[in-house]
Chain A
């Protein structure tokens, strides 16, 4: 097993120096959970204004994180014991990669909380909403800041859970419930794979700390378990980040209230998979498998998402599909494990979070104020919603990759990454260029279609959103512009720092906004032009494309999910029918068979001797045995009631005779009396039942049930012979024999045991028989009343 000591650590010298004893990072993670607990109470006290109080929590985290940007390289490590017995600790680390994610989570989180206060103003479940939202925020901070495999996984699953609760927030809508369950099942299944992968990784590396596992280079790739680990981890990341073919839950998750879509399903949670891929890149990345899986699936997802975006009419679904495409782009960029790719990924991550967050909130404003988000019904909103339009337009500048937006910078970096790949992957360059082209077209659709042209019917009664719903989009889209014009504000502090963490070595970034008029620049211009042409075509014939393509392209995996769920239900029904058929004889057969097999197994395993000694016996004994056995066989196969009752009586008398022969006259007397009573009661009951035959040949699986019966009998015989081979301990019997007369003044030892030594048991027995008699009387009484 490749160890983590020695040369591995040498590459990451100074790791020890990164440790801090503080609890600051822990506070960043835990504060939203505390706020979540307080949220319902705050909403009860302050109404929707509680959002301002709650927003202080992520805002404070954001400011603290901004102040720590300089320390992100090499980073901060913290450790707090959690389950010391299992060696599980709350280890947290803050490096460049964590920092960029954590800043997005707290920064966008602040804006989203304020936005949600306006968007869901007056909603009866607002307190619950903030509870879920803040819980998600804490969990998401936990995912990106955790430095322990186990706590990472726990936070990871918590985000899935919070997503389930938030997508299904409008729980009276069946579509919301279905979408929530689908999201949970897909990400949850991936989570299980991830757990297995992470445990195998931690086991192979001999450490639970992620910084240990990733700080030691790519040792794991020599391990025979590398491929299984890679596949399991990638499954977890791909389901979380909605890569093909697991993407279908993300458009479905648009059932959530818009603040949730903006926060979880575009800016943060869906990026968790990307985060983990980037985090584990130093250990897992760089192999051909990694390259092919990430570049292939990422590229496919990238292209597919943007094509589907062009075919949607719902503004939120358009954005959701471009999110799928963006996630594909991020995975695609992480595939080659080289510095240009990582840089481009980190830049695009930031750009996408800014513009997509702004666009979702703008779309939410449109939906909220105009009452619809159907592109075919919207138009002319520019005049009534000027601020929303301005933010959407600004965000789309970034999305389209036009100059002045931060998108331009990311586009340049992606271009550089593609060129670094070009010699091997000509086709991926084409795919990425096509994606850019269509993304340009989508950006034009989102910025132009709802806002320009003749005001449609929804636009007539629409008005601008309140300021709480404008703050978020304004800030995010302006930041895109500011960073776009002065990229060095984020180039070193965020993007280069994150790239350093991903690549495991120092990365620098010099952004030149405009290089020269070379073929790359011309290609960019051509892409814009082609995108504009595509948009013109889209305006004219999108309806026809939808009619032609939607039935065939329509969400194969989504239908696959439905089939899988139906199959699961069918499987459950099928096996329930087998195990729980509602037939008493099947339950009896299963019980007898299991007990018999269990006893047989333990007899076969243990070193059991059997007593086979035989003293010949007396004639009377043989006669009684034979009569009893015959009576038993007759009772088993009797077809008339009279014969069965007679055989049963005969059998009882035989047993009484056996008691007699072997020194138990008390038992014999009791047995005689009881047998008589049983026959009387049986006869009384049978007289009241209609004429029927006791058995018929088609009654049951005769051979199977016959074998179970024979087997049970044989096992009981073997068990008894085994018991008889063991040495007998006569101490109790001798003690009773010696003390019966002196202590209890009785000469019948059995009677003395029953009425003296074990008197309380006998009292209990009397009570049981009494209760049985009472119950029988009551049942007969009820029956008599029922017949009247």
Chain B
């Protein structure tokens, strides 16, 4: 199922890009969340897919017999999920605070740093 999954990951990446190109800060953050999921799947798939055999050693054994799911990308993705969540939560709070301060969630109206119509040498 690698090919359909690769297509799904491409679709999710495209969706994330589309959302992140929005001028609406909330849509941008939604896109960010989608991108996190797409990238997690990408890492997971790049480590090859194995159906139904989690990387668990039976209790009475020293090692798994036969093929088992690749544990390394799983460890990476587990970290990524948690970090991505922390980042998203923080970004959402920031967006909310930006709204409280600036009265808008549109990025093209947030022009404190680079005011429109003014080019400084």
Known contacts being A712-B17, A713-B14, A716-B38, is A615 close to B33, with CB within 8 Å?
Answer: no
Q: B96 touching A685 by the CB < 8 A rule?
A: yes
Partner of B15 from the list A621, A635, A737 (CB cut-off 8 Å) is: A635
The answer, among A667, A671, A688, A769, for a CB contact under 8 Å with B96, is: A688
A589–B17 Cα distance when bound, in Å, is 9
Q: Secondary structure at chain B's binding surface: helix, strand, loop or mixed?
A: helix
By a CB distance below 8 angstroms, the chain A residues around B12 are: 628-629, 632, 651, 713
Q: Which residue of A lies closest to B100 (CB)?
A: A783
| 0/1 string, A289-313, CB within 8 A of B gives 1 | 0000000000000000000000000
**Does A686 make an interface contact (CB < 8 A)?**
yes
Check A692 for interface membership: any CB of B closer than 8 A: yes
Across-interface contacts of B90 in A (CB, < 8 A): 772, 775-776, 779
What chain B residues lie within 8 Å of A592 (beta carbons)? Answer: 17, 20-21
Mark out the residues of chain B between 1 and 58 whose CB falls within 8 Å of any chain A CB in the assembled complex: 1-15, 17-24, 26-28, 30, 33-34, 37-38, 40-42, 44-58
Residues of A contacting B: mostly: helix
Chain A residues in 8 Å Cβ range of B63: 737-738, 740-741
A171 touches B (CB below 8 Å) = no
| CB of A53 closer than 8 Å to a CB of B | no
Q: How far is the CA of A674 from the CA of B77 in the complex (A)?
A: 13
Please tell me if the beta carbons of B79 and A612 are within 8 angstroms of each other in the complex.
Answer: no
Contacts of B119 in A (CB 8 A): 572-573, 576-577, 580
> For the complex, what is the distance from the CA of A615 to the CA of B3, rounded to whole Å?
9
Q: In chain A between 431 and 453, which residues have their CB closer than 8 angstroms to a CB of chain B?
A: none
**B22 surroundings in chain A (CB, below 8 A):** 585, 694-695, 699-700
Contact in complex: B105, A585 (CB < 8 Å): no
In the complex, the answer to whether B26 meets A686 with C-beta atoms within 8 Å is: yes
Contact A635 B71 (CB under 8 A): no
| A750 touching B75, Cβ below 8 Å | yes
From the candidates B45, B86, B95, B116, name the one contacting A769 in the complex (CB within 8 A). Answer: B86
Specify which chain B residues have a CB less than 8 angstroms from the CB of A747 in the assembled complex.
56-59
> A547 on the interface (CB 8 Å rule)?
no
Chain A window 695-718, contacts with chain B (Cβ cutoff 8 Å), 1 for yes, 0 for no: 100011000011011101111111
B86 A748 Cβ-Cβ under 8 A: no
- Tell me the bound Cα distance from A750 to B53 in angstroms: 13
Q: Which residues of B contact A741 (CB under 8 A)?
A: 57, 61-63
List the A side residues contacting B47 at CB < 8 Å: 733
A519 to chain B, nearest CB (A): 62
Which chain A positions have C-beta within 8 A of B28? 584, 588
Shortest Cβ gap from B67 to chain A (Å): 10
A573-B119, A717-B7, A737-B55 in contact; A651/B74 too (CB < 8 A)? no
Cross-chain contact A651 with B34 (CB below 8 angstroms): yes
Q: A residues within 8 A CB of B110?
A: 584
Shortest CB distance A761–B (Å): 7
Inter-subunit contact A628/B107 (CB<8 Å): no
Choice from A737, A775, A776 contacting B71 with Cβ under 8 Å: A737
> Please, how many angstroms separate the alpha-carbon atoms of A738 and B93 in the complex?
44
A758: chain B residues within 8 A (beta carbon): 75
Q: Establish whether residues B15 and A582, one from each chain, have CB atoms under 8 Å apart when the complex forms.
A: no
Q: What residue in chain B is nearest A636 (Cβ atoms)?
A: B15
Closest approach, in angstroms, between the C-beta of A732 and any C-beta of chain B? 6
Q: Does A68 contact B (CB under 8 A)?
A: no
> Which stretch in A458-466, A534-542, A719-727 binds the other chain?
A719-727
Beta-carbon contacts under 8 Å, A135-161 to B: none
Taking a contact as CB atoms closer than 8 A, the residue among A612, A761, A776 that contacts B3 in the complex is: A612
B37 touches A655 (CB 8 A): yes
Q: Are B23 and A699 in contact (CB under 8 A)?
A: yes
**Extra contacts besides A694-B27, A753-B71 (17): CB < 8 Å:** A584-B107, A589-B21, A628-B8, A652-B33, A655-B41, A659-B44, A662-B51, A662-B69, A671-B81, A678-B89, A712-B17, A715-B10, A716-B10, A730-B70, A748-B56, A765-B82, A779-B94
Q: Closest 5 A-B residue pairs measured CB to CB?
A: A713-B14, A663-B69, A717-B10, A582-B114, A772-B86
Chain A interfacial positions (CB closer than 8 Å to B): 569, 572-573, 576-577, 580-585, 588-589, 592, 611-615, 617, 621-622, 625, 628-629, 632-633, 635-636, 641, 644, 648, 651-652, 655, 658-659, 661-667, 670-671, 674, 677-678, 681-682, 685-686, 688-689, 692, 694-695, 699-700, 705-706, 708-710, 712-718, 720-721, 723-724, 728, 730, 732-733, 736-738, 740-742, 747-750, 753-754, 758, 761-762, 765, 768-769, 772-773, 775-776, 779-780, 782-783, 786-787
* 28 pairs, CB–CB < 8 Å, chain A vs chain B: A576-B119, A583-B23, A584-B107, A585-B21, A592-B17, A613-B2, A641-B26, A652-B37, A661-B51, A663-B55, A667-B78, A678-B88, A688-B96, A689-B96, A700-B22, A700-B23, A712-B13, A713-B15, A717-B10, A724-B6, A733-B70, A737-B57, A753-B71, A762-B79, A769-B85, A772-B89, A779-B93, A783-B100
